[in-house]
Chain A
Amino acid sequence: MLWFEERPNVAAPRPEESGLRLEVRRFLDGECKAGGFVPRPNNWVAFDRAFSIRCAEQGYVGTTLPKQYGGGGKSARERLVICEEMLAAGAPLGSHWIADRQSAPQILRHGSEALRARLLPEIAAGRCTFAIGMSEPDSGSDLSSIRTAARKVDGGWRLDGRKVWTTNAHHADYMIVLCRTAPRGEDRYAGLSQLVVEVASDGVTVRPIRNLAGEHELNEVIFEGAFVPDDNLLGEGGDGWRLVNEELGFERSGPDRFLSTYPVLRLLVAETGKDPNRYQAVAIGQLLSRLLAVRSLSHSIADLLANGERVILAATMMKDIGTALEQEIPQVAGRLLEIHPDPHGSGFAAALAAALLNAPSFTIRGGTREILKGIVARELGLR
């Protein structure tokens, strides 16, 4: 196709949505000024339950969930607008981010009615934190090799095994755990299932893992015969591979894959001032052009979704180049300004430090850059 389609989701200022943008921006501005949060990069991980509840009161959580489950019944486009605004502002979204981004849609599509009725309203109210239970000590990129297993018992499942790198498990109420429900056979993708596990259950232990910035985001989660009721199985059982890939689709395709360090770009431009030298102007122009290009690609995914077309190729490319940009922004910012990154400082110095220290994870979490390129190559027909 060599022509330019008329696309509804043009990534440009759009008058019809400026009302919503301004409303979210005013809310965030008020929060920020009242000391509700300090804008930081990588803030979609930062846990702040009270902030999430205030967001939910405005309708900024569970936006697309059906009204019968306490959601806003709004369009994906409206959710995108809200998410972009919150990310650009560097607001602490960690308490609801994973639930809103991937767990809720997963439960809505594949959960039992009992589970939906119980959990979705809590998520939409901003009162419920979810964690992602995919990775294990011996299974990262190759998720089909996981060993955490659930065996069938009366009324549910008994879960044994160990997950690792679990973001915010220490704050989480629930965790969607990928596990084996049938022994591994010829087809390594068969016999996997997804269970919604209550983290406070007996037989679940959460241990902290400090990251290189000294922050406690990651955890190890150990399951020792933890009981999971039947209602908490997603899908039919045995279809976990398809389900986990759908979940990864939600995890990989959003604006958090190119805006994580936007707050650094904002501060860089502010610190540079109105009169940049040629070198600064060129470097900022390069970053901004890339941001706009990735954002356009990201919005084109919304068009594909609306037309019922496959999004995996566009979404994977977006995450790959978007996360590369997220890493590039603090590198360039650090070169342009003579301000030392300072984890204990404030303003640009603190934001730069947080971005530089967290940057290595951007191209690992949610699927490594190498795995993403492999998916793109597969979609191109190379493998």
Chain B
Amino acid sequence: MWKFIVRRLIITFPQLVVLSVLVFLAAQFMPGDALTGSIGNPNITAEQLEQRREALGLNDPWYVRYGDWVSGVVQGDLGESYRFKMPVTELIGQRIVNSFWLSVVTLIFTYIIAVPLGILSGRYNDSLLDQSITGYTYVGFATPLFIFALVMLWIFGYQFGWFPTNGSVEPGLTPGTFDYVLSKLYHLILPGISMALIATVNTVQYLRSEIIDTKQRDFIITARAKGAPESRVYNRHILRNSLLPIAAFFGFEITGLIGGTIFVETIFSYPGMGQLFLESVTLRDFSTLVSVVLLFGVTAIGGALLSDIILSLVDPRIRIK
């Protein structure tokens, strides 16, 4: 198992290099650089700018600049945002934490919904219950998340007024207090549920088909031939074997959240990475955009890595080797 994990970690390294090169090259094709923000500043002349460029190494060949950029990123220096006029690292700081908590809440809701629905649907497949659940998943597939999130916001945020409609916490509360944490949670619930209700349909369908598939495997017949009652056949044999691929899917689920946060955070005015992404696109804040995309990419790679590690931990066919 350790061999597998180490090998898997080693593969991650070239993935990160390729990602960083791609992001870097993409950034090169975008207009502007670290000093674009200073253009038009009456106190700085064009020559001074050129000197600064030279001093900062902006005129070096691309691989030198790539090296500089990577070593900066590794040390946590993502450059300057020329719209917000502050270091990108600082800009991202709190937002990444916000997005992290939003993702956690969404994932919890996703599984709270998916596991029972998937199990019921798979166990009683082709029943009325299954047809209703499958119907829900089709609706979920067909509904764009941003429209659904807007509807949720309108109904539960504005019409009923049950949930806050923007921000990540009530202003004026002291970080660390109980009220602060509670308010944070309160702000997470509606966006989290909105995203989970749509994102979960994949998992429901996946779990359903896993169960239907496992149900007709030969070892289930062996279990019945032993005299195992249906409840035991389900709990010991069918569920265990069907939940395993779902567990392994967990990492990819995280990757899938990236797209969702972009819409949901924007709609709920929730200050996270997704909102920052759209903002930096509309504001043409390329140094921020590049950093956000890089972090999204790292998350995706990390998600895939996590999936494989979970699989290696829970599947004896991999664990043993």
**A, B bound:** no
Which residues of A come within 8 Å of B, CB atoms?
none
